[in-house]
């Protein structure tokens, strides 16, 4: 005796819908990312410090799946700081970078964004262009390729970083611009977010924030202004820029 196989109920249901010309809408599964960001007061450490000692300083860090990246600075002289980033995997140091900026620019690291995979950004400070190796060599194609004119005001640098070894892939300076003399003015990043394609930055900008074309906005009231910028992932372009009380 030959037994007939039972027709799968779901397949029969689909055939019935097709017979009546009814489309079945199947919900899409949207991949969830594990992206985290951290913006905090910069802390001092060296590449020889243990993870426990760095962690105890409560500086900016991101931990995902047993992997942790810390950002900060090392006091290399009485008047000079240089930025540092270090990564530990399950408590073992994987890499530490000391070569991002080695001039007398007083540089620190104070922010991170990481998805636990290939997307890693670091946020740094700069107080002016100096002779030697600084972030300009990474920002040649960036939205802003240098600190700009003037000096002393603390601006920011955002760098896209290879999380496997800490090398910088691209970077941009981010600063305010004084409309009267064109000199760079202070800007501090307060938040970063990633949507899989673009990087959104929120910052406190001194007088005055820049438009996407890099020129000064026209603002009312007093600074700091809450400033929002959307960068392309490689930091070469700005898709949009806006600020509260500015246009």
pLDDT for the residue 33: 60
Asked if 122 contacts 156 with a C-beta cutoff of 8 angstroms, the reply is no
Return the beta strands (E) in the chain as ranges.
Answer: 36-39, 61-64, 67-77, 80-89, 92-97, 109-114, 120-126, 155-161, 168-174, 176-177, 184-185, 187-194, 198-205, 225-232, 238-243
pLDDT class of 1 with cuts at 50, 70, 90: very low
pLDDT tens digits, one per residue of 150-195 = 999 999 999 999 999 999 999 999 999 999 999 999 999 999 999 9
Higher pLDDT, 163 or 16: 163
Question: Quick one: CA dihedral 137, 143, 146, 147, positive or negative?
Answer: negative
Element (H, E) at 16: helix 9-19
What are the structural domain ranges in the chain? 34-188
Task: Report d(CA 58, CA 74) in Å as an integer.
Answer: 15
Q: What's the start-to-end Cα distance of the chain, in Å?
A: 83
Higher pLDDT, 11 or 100: 100
How much is the mean pLDDT over the chain? 90
pLDDT tens digits, one per residue of 203-242 = 999 999 999 999 999 999 999 999 999 999 999 999 999 9
């Amino acid at each position: 005796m030959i037994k007939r196989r039972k027709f799968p109920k779901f397949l029969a249901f689909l055939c019935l819908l097709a017979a009546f010309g009814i489309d079945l809408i199947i919900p899409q599964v949207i991949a969830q990312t594990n992206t985290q960001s951290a913006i905090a007061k910069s802390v001092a450490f060296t590449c020889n410090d243990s993870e426990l000692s760095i962690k105890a300083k409560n500086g900016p860090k991101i931990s995902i799946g047993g992997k942790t990246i810390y950002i900060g600075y090392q006091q290399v002289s009485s008047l000079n700081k240089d930025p540092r980033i270090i990564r530990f995997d399950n408590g073992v140091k994987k890499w530490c970078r000391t070569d991002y900026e080695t001039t007398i620019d007083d540089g620190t690291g104070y922010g991170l964004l990481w998805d636990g995979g290939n997307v890693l950004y670091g946020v740094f400070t700069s107080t002016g262009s100096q002779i030697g190796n600084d972030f300009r060599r990474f920002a040649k194609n960036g939205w802003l390729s240098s600190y700009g004119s003037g000096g002393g005001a603390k601006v920011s640098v955002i760098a896209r970083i290879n999380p496997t070894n800490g090398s910088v892939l691209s970077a941009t300076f981010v600063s305010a611009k004084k409309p009267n003399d064109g000199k760079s003015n202070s800007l501090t990043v307060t938040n970063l977010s990633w949507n899989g394609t673009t990087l959104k930055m929120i910052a406190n900008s001194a007088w005055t924030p820049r438009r996407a074309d890099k020129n000064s906005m026209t603002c009312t009231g007093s600074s700091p202004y809450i400033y929002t910028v959307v960068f392309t992932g490689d930091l070469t372009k700005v898709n949009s820029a806006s600020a509260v009380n500015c246009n």
